[in-house]
Amino acid sequence: MTSQPPGEPGTQAIPTCYRHPDREAHVRCQRCERPICPDCMRDASVGFQCPDCVAEGNRTVRQAQAVFGGRAVTTPRVTWALLAVNILAYFVQSVSDQVLRDFAMYPAAVAYGGEWWRLITGAFLHSPLGSGGFALTHILFNMWALYAIGPELERRLGSTRFLALYLLSALGGSVAVYLLSAGFVVGASGAIYGLFGALFVVGRRLGYDVRGVIWLVGINVVITFAVPGISWQGHLGGLVTGAVISAVLVHAPARSRSAVQWAGCAAALLVLVAAVLLLPPFAFNDAAQIPDVFGYRG
């Protein structure tokens, strides 16, 4: 019997993929040197790596972060989503008046009907067409403001923190309406004014010239009190809430940033909820004083 010299065909077994034993593998992972088939090959800086090594490497790579925490934002998806929800809600309410009846912010319905959802849903509705005054301008201005300043704030704060800022500002505006107003109110203005306050706080924290923001807020405050039919309560509540929340987000210490930020947001939420549960609406003392809006009297 004669043996074949080393190196001749048939003297060595063809390696197979460690993940697919039935497939030939003529390439080895540059990191662990296990054989991999074409389906398991992942491009690396040099050669290819196997899926397991790629996953392990991703776990050790530090994710890019926004300036004040959270993942870095390249596309402001939360801003676009909020724009879409507001616009969609406007089309829905234009088709059915019942949407306003059931979801507008109406202090009496919250105080005497337990309809707590109105504190948030009212912030996604706007003055309906045909209601006179600045009906169409209402949603156009709010959506323009969200489009103009939302992406910048989302990139600075991170998407999740930006969403928390928006929703808490909207809630802060509604709580102020609940405590200080008797009529029904709709609009994202409380949230938008919260973004105005945040833009000022973030700008100061980063050392920017914020005089333009001061002028922007000042002009809108004048409009709020000069034009009849605008809820100054919602604007004021949103502005104060947005400024407070953003101050917590941007001044949280780096070492325990996330914990402090979310604890601050949770504390603000508890304060707003407690204000509704414990404080009476100051605009009326009992159901008999409630304006007859949509035929609702508690």
Domain edges within the chain: 15-52, 77-285
Predicted confidence at residue 1, as pLDDT, reads: 46
Q: Are 73 and 66 in contact (CB under 8 A)?
A: yes
Nearest 10 degrees: Cα torsion 156, 157, 159, 163: -130
Angle at 186 between CA 183 and CA 188, to 5 degrees: 140
Task: Report, as residue numbers or ranges, the catalytic residues.
Answer: 189, 235
- What number does CATH give the domain 77-285? 1.20.1540.10
Residue ranges in the chain assigned as alpha helix (H): 51-60, 77-95, 98-103, 107-113, 118-121, 135-157, 159-180, 189-205, 211-226, 232-251, 257-278
Predicted confidence at residue 287, as pLDDT, reads: 46
| Size (the chain), residues | 298
CB environment 236-252: b (16+ within 10 A), e (fewer): bbbbbbbbbbbbbbbeb
- Amino acid present at 159: S
Predicted confidence at residue 7, as pLDDT, reads: 45
Predicted confidence at residue 11, as pLDDT, reads: 47
The rounded distance, in Å, linking the Cα atoms of 232 and 190 is 9
Q: Are 104 and 118 in contact (CB under 8 A)?
A: yes
Predicted confidence at residue 27, as pLDDT, reads: 87
**Which residue is it, tokens 């923001």?**
213
Predicted confidence at residue 285, as pLDDT, reads: 52
Predicted confidence at residue 283, as pLDDT, reads: 62
**Which stretches of the chain drop beneath a pLDDT of 70?**
1-12, 59-63, 129-135, 283-298
When the pLDDT of each residue in the chain is averaged and rounded to a whole number, the result is: 85
Predicted confidence at residue 67, as pLDDT, reads: 82
Contacts of 138 (CB under 8 A, 6+ apart): 126, 127, 187
For residue range 85-123, list pLDDT tens digits in order. 999 999 999 888 889 889 999 888 888 888 999 999 999
Percent of the chain with pLDDT over 90: 45
Predicted confidence at residue 165, as pLDDT, reads: 98
Predicted confidence at residue 272, as pLDDT, reads: 97
The rounded distance, in Å, linking the Cα atoms of 213 and 5 is 83
